[in-house]
Structure 1
């Protein structure tokens, strides 16, 4: 007796749902077909298995099927869909370090506790808050990397990044009002604008004021997948300590 196979229409629907998931700015509530496929994937185990198989073929993991956010996919290391800062054609090496630190800083500032990564709520954050946290981080790392003779000691992984960041001024607007690349807040805005483009954040400046963003459920899930990274763990530790100090 042969094992049952997935019907061709199911496979077509599964591939269509993965296609929606590969466009992270789309939301099920905006597209009836996307909404129906999300609902089916949440209720039908056989159909979900077909969706997972398609994602697996693209070297991506299906991490959640959310009624509002839709299909949330996480690319594996080496996947065609993995975005690496080192692949960005216009960034210099020190700029990639600063932008990478800004991304990790946003995540650690908003989700410092493991419980934060399980809480299905939309968080808000501002450019000023992230910059303030990263400058607090730099002060802590500077203090931690000095021995009794006052000599700077290297900090694995983050040493080059925070040293590059420390050289930047918080804000230096151009005559048109834009921040220059010598401004740390420019890189934080670039990081947040990229999250908006990826459907992981929303610009909230009209509601909350200049430099404010809301972080989507999709961003929290992606951070949760990468939470075991050493950089995120260290920045989260420092953020938790900062919260204790503020209390």
Structure 2
């Protein structure tokens, strides 16, 4: 039964939609925007308003993952949502390019968060182009071994297998005459993946640590946690943990 206390006014509904609008702009930070900060605090404290905001997000095929004091309303588009990002929608990427870029995205996540505990820990992770590239290249043999089972039969991860085969054929870094990374180098692909995370408010450049260094935001960790069941991520995390065990 709906009670008067749970009914939102038109003004309340407008505020709920405004909060979702803020959340759809992931680079905005509530601490610098008073209205965003106030609406976020209201979401955290006012159950009817929270329900109205969740319903507004639901209508856009979005799930509210977290209302973070510093990073704002963290939204996750459902699979197939018109707001979801798919590599196949990228107008400039061929099939092989999509495979390698997808592998780079998964590798960044697996390199930073190889264990369930890492996905819960809120410390800021730092990462670099060279670290991700080295991570993938050192795991090439392991990926090849993981592509077949104990009986020598192919494991059903064809896209992962195809991706690392293409990746292994590319040079790590090929500078152009202007000093930029060549489009055909793996570090250029990793940079594209990390720069996209920056655009989405999930990372930031850490140039003070050196060229090609980034910090991964809490928002990225939360998004990875939502997608942690993917076969490719699980495989790379298993290999990453095995490598860490050998290092110890």
TM superposition score normalised by structure 2: 0.94
Name the residue aligned to 2:234: 233
Tell me the C-alpha RMSD between the 2 structures: 1.8
The answer to whether the 8 Å contact 2:67/2:74 transfers is yes
- Are residues 121 and 147 of structure 1, via their aligned partners in 2, closer, same or farther at CA, if it must alter by over 3 Å? closer
The answer to whether the 8 Å contact 2:66/2:73 transfers is yes
Name which of 172, 175, 183 aligns with 2:185. 183
1:88-99 equivalences in 2 (<5 Å): 88-99=90-101
Distance (whole Å) between structure 2 residues aligned to residue 2 and residue 119 of structure 1: 39
Moved more, 152-161 or 77-86: 152-161
Name the residue aligned to 2:175: 173
Name the residue aligned to 2:223: 222
Which secondary structure does the structure 2 equivalent of 1:213 belong to? Answer: strand
TM superposition score normalised by structure 1: 0.94
Q: What is the Cα deviation at residue 30 of structure 1?
A: 1.3
Gaps of 5+ in 2: none
- Are residues 145 and 35 of structure 1, via their aligned partners in 2, closer, same or farther at CA, if it must alter by over 3 Å? closer
Q: Deviations over 1:212-235 (max 9, x none)?
A: 000000000000000011110010
- Are residues 2 and 187 of structure 1, via their aligned partners in 2, closer, same or farther at CA, if it must alter by over 3 Å? closer
The answer to whether the 8 Å contact 2:147/2:157 transfers is no
Distance (whole Å) between structure 2 residues aligned to residue 69 and residue 136 of structure 1: 34
Distance (whole Å) between structure 2 residues aligned to residue 109 and residue 64 of structure 1: 23
Count of residue pairs the alignment pairs up: 244
- Are residues 146 and 228 of structure 1, via their aligned partners in 2, closer, same or farther at CA, if it must alter by over 3 Å? closer
Name which of 139, 142, 159 aligns with 2:141. 139
Name the residue aligned to 1:13: 15
Gaps of 5+ in 1: none
Q: Deviations over 1:59-116 (max 9, x none)?
A: 0100000000000000001111100000001101000000000000000000000011
Distance (whole Å) between structure 2 residues aligned to residue 210 and residue 163 of structure 1: 27
Name the residue aligned to 1:213: 214
Distance (whole Å) between structure 2 residues aligned to residue 162 and residue 156 of structure 1: 11
Distance (whole Å) between structure 2 residues aligned to residue 238 and residue 45 of structure 1: 43
Q: What is the Cα deviation at residue 142 of structure 1?
A: 2.3
The answer to whether the 8 Å contact 1:98/1:165 transfers is yes
Name the residue aligned to 2:78: 76
Distance (whole Å) between structure 1 residues aligned to residue 148 and residue 117 of structure 2: 33
The answer to whether the 8 Å contact 1:109/1:236 transfers is yes
Distance (whole Å) between structure 2 residues aligned to residue 173 and residue 132 of structure 1: 17
Name which of 187, 190, 196 aligns with 2:198. 196
Name the residue aligned to 1:245: 246
- Are residues 180 and 49 of structure 1, via their aligned partners in 2, closer, same or farther at CA, if it must alter by over 3 Å? same
Distance (whole Å) between structure 1 residues aligned to residue 148 and residue 226 of structure 2: 33
Q: Which runs of 4+ in 1 moved over 6 A?
A: none
Q: What is the Cα deviation at residue 6 of structure 1?
A: 1.3
2:60 is aligned with 1:58: yes
Q: What is the Cα deviation at residue 246 of structure 1?
A: 1.1
